[in-house]
Amino acid sequence: MTTKMMSYLQALGNFDRARILAYLVKHEGETADHISRQLNYPKATIYKYLRELENVKLIRSEQKNRKKQYFVIPFAIKISHETLDEAIYEAEPTYLQVVRERYGGEKLDEIRQLAKDLKSGKTTSTLRQAASKIGVEYYELMIALDELGIL
Amino acid sequence: MSKVLVPDSSSLIFVDRRGKLDLLKNTINKDFEVCIPPAIARELIEDPQKLAEKIHPLYPNIAKNLLESSSRFKKAVEVWIEIRPIDYIRYSEAMDKTRIRLSKFDKKWEHSVKKSDAELIALCVQLIDNGDEVLALLEDENLKRVLNEITENVKTLSIKEFLPGV
């Protein structure tokens, strides 16, 4: 439960994601295209945020007439000093989350790309060189790749 | 002739994160000596300590796990993993060759090649010259390729090949 609460808080901690969610509360079944126009965000940004909201199960999507419609999944978050403390200590973040916090989402994307390249044998450098190129420490790259199932 | 296992840090990190360091120790105890170069030891013991210090304020539990991992490796090098110094004068050629080869991968200067990559390969060459039979545990395919180019006498396996089911 606490892990779920932390994922809700993380998702809603971003103003744009929260705004999209709030919009969907009032406009159930909207498409990404429509939300993009109404809220004036680039489509790529909308897709990214919708995907993130869907990942934490704050929204769900349905395919209708070749269009994907989005719906809010009812949720409730009750925060008190006790539940927040509990949530932080019980929701074990993965190292990938640490990477995101320390370096931002772009580095995480680079690590994910490296993981894909390693899987398909496309890499042309050693893992230590890759860590240096991405700009993360080798040890943390090893943990991140392990979490991604690459090691 | 001794049989020597030279694991890269990635292989050891993989095993440790699954709580199987003792299994590795027990599997190899009778058959192999285990050696790592100094740079790999630093990666396993000092690097997680430094990382733990940096992330502790935000992620105390992960920091704690890193420190525990560092302690396990510290204990391991006291008991069953030997830190074997590189004879830098004698094996400077092997290290230079490695650096030159690796620097071509990312088109950078040789001095930018990480010491651990070069030391790992130099240690394998050094052990072969000592007449040892060497098995390197490597997860890094490109490093494996360079090692095989520099010496054909080292057998390489990934940790999953060496310890199936881990």
CB contact under 8 A, A139 and B61: no
Q: What is the pLDDT of residues B152-163, one digit of tens each?
A: 999 999 999 999
Structure token pair of residue B93? 């050629």
Mean per-residue pLDDT, B119-135: 95
Going by pLDDT thresholds of 50, 70 and 90, the confidence category of residue A1 is very low
pLDDT digit string, tens, across residues B15-26:
999 999 999 998
For residue A19, pLDDT over 90 is answered with yes
pLDDT at residue B106 tops 80: no
> Distance, in angstroms, between B130 CA and closest chain A CA?
27
Q: Put residue B97 in one of left, alpha, beta given phi > 0 → left and psi -120 to 50 → alpha.
A: alpha
Please report, for residues A41, A97, A98, A148, the alpha-carbon distance to residue A94 in angstroms, rounded to integers and kept in the order given.
30, 5, 7, 10
Contact residues on chain B for A151, CB-CB shorter than 8 A? 10, 13-14, 139, 159
pLDDT confidence band for A92 (50 / 70 / 90): low
**Every domain of chain B and the residues it spans:** 3-37+81-162
CB contact under 8 A, B43 and A101: no
Whether A2 shows a pLDDT value over 60: the answer reads no
Q: Is the pLDDT of residue A91 over 80?
A: no
**Average pLDDT of the residues in A44-66:** 92
Q: Which of B62, B142, B48, B57 is nearest to B104 (CA)?
A: B142
Using a pLDDT cut of 90, give the percent of chain B over it. Answer: 64
Q: Is the pTM of this model over 0.80?
A: no
Question: Mean pLDDT throughout A9-28?
Answer: 91
Residue B73 has pLDDT above 50, yes or no: yes
* pLDDT number for residue A34: 94
Quick: pLDDT tens for B37-55: 999 999 999 999 999 999 9
Task: Give the model's pLDDT for residue B58.
Answer: 82
Contact indicator for B43, B116 with CB cutoff of 8 Å: yes
Look at domain B3-37+81-162 and name its CATH class.
alpha beta
